[in-house]
């Protein structure tokens, strides 16, 4: 095998010249790749196979379904906020994770222990200090309670670049969510002593515990919302070479299994660096043009890298890659198939390999080699 590089119009064009293990299939890939490298129009044809309208519909449907799940049981609609964070991928990613310090303010108006008590830890006690050199053993209990809060606000740093109507939607939803949420914490029970100083200390203690729970509820909810927004778009685009049509294709990854006679090159432009660009390109033609440029560059890198690795790696030229739908069986010589077989290979592995071989003659070849291997093991 020889791998050479040709300089043509300041571009590196990867050329692969075969040996006895390099089949006509590789030549088909090489020729198709060179055509794309040398003519911009051929790459643009690749993009015609991507149904951006379908991706957009799927994306918006996912937001609607997620918002409906979040809305369940709350008398508010979080859709506007979830849609904003989902569409603005990089802004959402930049917000990062919130903690207690991200909560600027809220008005705590009181709490109410519900009829239910959760005695996970039973009734316990603690030594409570109050006044000067005074202490008393008080009983504590794991309690369920609801709170009454208003005017929730996050820090100005978090609010930056978020429209007022989105913040209003988020804060109104948060208020309903927190007030309706049944919290659990260990609180001091009624001490049964009419001591103003002691009762004030008990009140301050319980409220501190409850306020911590409120803060926890707020930042956990917002963090989950941000995380859900980041992953609203889970679709990936991938590159395959379809040997039936003798051409490269860029398709949605979940359609990969529809193509049996193919080589899988991997997901393209799907890192955190580029995933948001795909999302934003669904709603902005200018960003779509930029995304197409990224796709072209990442496509070139992906194909060159996979071709070089496949041709020089025993691991990538094996039955395991056939089982994983990454290469077709006709890529492998008889010797490479024999080298791939292992005594611990299960019937399930063999069945998966057979499932991905559509050519009966190729399966007959593999079956014969498996039989030879089993005879050798005897």
CA nearest to 283, candidates 89, 16, 139: 89
CA nearest to 70, candidates 255, 228, 288: 228
Q: Based on the fold, state whether residues 92 and 192 are members of the same structural domain.
A: yes
Q: Based on the fold, state whether residues 45 and 123 are members of the same structural domain.
A: no
Q: Based on the fold, state whether residues 9 and 116 are members of the same structural domain.
A: no
Q: Based on the fold, state whether residues 333 and 377 are members of the same structural domain.
A: yes
Q: Are 278 and 52 in contact (CB under 8 A)?
A: no
Examine residue 63 and state whether it is found in any structural domain, yes or no.
no
Q: Based on the fold, state whether residues 94 and 126 are members of the same structural domain.
A: yes
Q: Are 212 and 108 in contact (CB under 8 A)?
A: no
Q: Are 228 and 66 in contact (CB under 8 A)?
A: yes
Q: Based on the fold, state whether residues 193 and 332 are members of the same structural domain.
A: no
Examine residue 57 and state whether it is found in any structural domain, yes or no.
no
What residues have CB less than 8 Å from 156, skipping those under 6 apart?
104
> According to the model, what pLDDT value does residue 200 have?
87
- Specify which of 37-46, 151-160, 285-294 reaches the highest per-range mean pLDDT: 151-160
> According to the model, what pLDDT value does residue 331 have?
78
Residue 2 has pLDDT above 50, yes or no: no
Domain boundary pick from 280, 312, 344:
312
Q: Based on the fold, state whether residues 23 and 102 are members of the same structural domain.
A: no
Q: Based on the fold, state whether residues 338 and 285 are members of the same structural domain.
A: no
Specify the pTM: 0.75
The dihedral through the CA atoms of 61, 257, 32, 17 has a sign that is positive
Q: Based on the fold, state whether residues 32 and 16 are members of the same structural domain.
A: yes
Beta bridge partners of 2: 17
Q: Based on the fold, state whether residues 308 and 247 are members of the same structural domain.
A: yes
Examine residue 217 and state whether it is found in any structural domain, yes or no.
yes
**Number of domains making up the chain:** 3
Range of the domain at 207: 73-230
More confident position, 115 or 284:
284
Beta bridge partners of 15: 4
Domain boundary pick from 230, 251, 282:
230
Pairing outcome for strands 103-117 and 247-252: unpaired
> According to the model, what pLDDT value does residue 18 have?
32
Residue 9 has pLDDT above 70, yes or no: no
| Residue 161 φ/ψ region, left for φ over 0, alpha for ψ in the -120 to 50 degree band, beta for the rest | left
Q: Are 228 and 251 in contact (CB under 8 A)?
A: no
> According to the model, what pLDDT value does residue 123 have?
54
Domain boundary pick from 291, 312, 333:
312
Q: Based on the fold, state whether residues 81 and 218 are members of the same structural domain.
A: yes
Q: Based on the fold, state whether residues 104 and 224 are members of the same structural domain.
A: yes
Examine residue 222 and state whether it is found in any structural domain, yes or no.
yes
Examine residue 122 and state whether it is found in any structural domain, yes or no.
yes
Examine residue 62 and state whether it is found in any structural domain, yes or no.
no
Examine residue 66 and state whether it is found in any structural domain, yes or no.
no
**pLDDT, average across residues 12-28:** 51
For 160, counting Cβ atoms within 10 Å of its Cβ (0-12 exposed, 13-18 middle, 19+ buried), the class is exposed
Indicate the length of the chain as a whole number: 378
> According to the model, what pLDDT value does residue 343 have?
76
pLDDT category of residue 151 using cuts at 50, 70 and 90: very high
Examine residue 45 and state whether it is found in any structural domain, yes or no.
yes
Residue 212 has pLDDT above 70, yes or no: yes
- Angle, CA of 325, 327 and 328, to the nearest 5°: 95
> According to the model, what pLDDT value does residue 342 have?
81
pLDDT category of residue 243 using cuts at 50, 70 and 90: confident
């Amino acid at each position: 095998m020889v791998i050479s590089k040709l300089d043509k119009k300041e571009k590196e064009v990867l050329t692969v010249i075969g040996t006895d293990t390099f089949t006509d299939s590789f030549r088909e890939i090489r020729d198709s790749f060179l055509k794309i490298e040398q003519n911009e129009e051929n790459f643009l044809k690749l993009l015609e196979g991507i149904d951006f309208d379908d991706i957009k519909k799927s994306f918006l449907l996912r937001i609607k379904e997620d918002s409906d799940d979040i809305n369940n049981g709350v008398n508010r609609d979080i859709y506007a906020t979830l849609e904003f964070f989902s569409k603005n991928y990089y802004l959402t990613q930049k917000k990062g994770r919130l903690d207690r310090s991200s909560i600027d303010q809220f008005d705590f108006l009181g709490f109410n222990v519900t009829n239910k008590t959760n005695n996970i830890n039973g009734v316990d006690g603690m030594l409570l200090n109050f006044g000067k050199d005074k202490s008393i053993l008080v009983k504590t209990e794991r309690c369920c309670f609801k709170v009454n809060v208003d005017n929730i606000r996050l820090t100005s740093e978090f609010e930056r670049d978020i429209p007022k109507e989105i913040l209003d939607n988020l804060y109104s939803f948060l208020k309903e969510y927190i007030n309706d949420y049944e919290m659990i914490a260990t609180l001091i029970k009624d001490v049964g002593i009419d001591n103003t100083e002691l009762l004030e200390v008990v009140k301050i203690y319980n409220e501190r515990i409850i306020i911590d729970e409120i803060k926890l509820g707020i930042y956990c909810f917002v963090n989950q919302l941000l995380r859900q927004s980041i992953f609203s778009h889970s679709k990936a685009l991938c590159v395959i070479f379809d040997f039936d049509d003798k051409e490269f294709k860029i398709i949605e990854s979940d359609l990969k299994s529809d193509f049996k006679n193919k080589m899988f090159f991997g997901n393209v432009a799907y890192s955190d660096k580029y995933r948001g660009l795909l999302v934003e390109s669904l709603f902005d033609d200018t960003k779509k043009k930029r995304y197409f440029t990224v796709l072209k560059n990442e496509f070139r890198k992906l194909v060159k890298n996979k071709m070089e690795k496949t041709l020089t790696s025993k691991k990538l030229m094996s039955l395991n890659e056939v089982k994983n739908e990454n290469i077709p069986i006709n890529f492998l010589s008889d010797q490479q198939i024999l080298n791939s077989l292992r005594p611990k290979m299960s019937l399930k592995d063999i069945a998966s390999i057979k499932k991905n071989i559509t050519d009966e003659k190729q399966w007959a070849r593999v079956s014969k080699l498996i039989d030879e291997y089993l005879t050798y093991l005897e």
